[in-house]
Amino acid sequence: MTVAAILSGKGHDIITARSDALLSEICETLAKHKIGAVVVSDDEGVVNGIVSERDIVRVIGTQGVSALKTPVSSVMTKTVVTCTEENNINEVMAQMTQGRFRHMPVLKDGKLTGVISIGDVVKFKIAQVELEAEQMRSYITMA
């Protein structure tokens, strides 16, 4: 199965921010939308970085609350691991696990088209296993 299968159920809604947004604005966005990361991109949908709850906790832990007044560009992860809708879900899950990150932007022709989280991947995998188990039960009871 591919990332496209996850996005077809989840949708392509994307919450982004500009690189000059203050960290306090990012916190408000995360809270408002109940999400764990925001993709930082330009107006054309090119990914410049990503900032997660972990990034925010790390910078506040070292710099204190004054860090909330800094632009997200100084805190965000600039080398972002991305995928496409054609990527295999198992490969994406392995990348997230190995890289110890929970959110991955999805690109098409270099432009942002979605974001998936490790929760989305796990939810999809569980649904897939449950469907296979139900199919197996149906096959056994028909035999």
For residue range 27-84, list pLDDT tens digits in order. 999 999 999 999 999 888 899 999 999 999 999 999 999 999 999 999 999 999 999 9
The tokens of 25 are what?
């604005």
The tokens of 137 are what?
């039960």
Residue 81 phi, psi dihedral angles, 5° rounding? -85, 125
Question: Cα–Cα distance between 89 and 48 in angstroms, integer?
Answer: 24
CA 52 to chain centre: 9
Q: How confident is the model at residue 142 (pLDDT cuts 50, 70, 90)?
A: confident
Instruction: Give the three-class secondary structure for 40.
Output: strand
Q: Which residues share a beta bridge with 47?
A: 41
- Contact between 40 and 19 under an 8 Å Cβ cutoff? The reply is yes
The Cα-based distances of 12 to 9, 85, 100, 106, 116 in angstroms read 9, 11, 23, 9, 9
Residue 21 phi, psi dihedral angles, 5° rounding? -65, 145
- Contact between 35 and 26 under an 8 Å Cβ cutoff? The reply is no
pLDDT at position 13 is 87
Indicate the pTM of the whole model. Answer: 0.86
Question: Cα–Cα distance between 39 and 49 in angstroms, integer?
Answer: 6
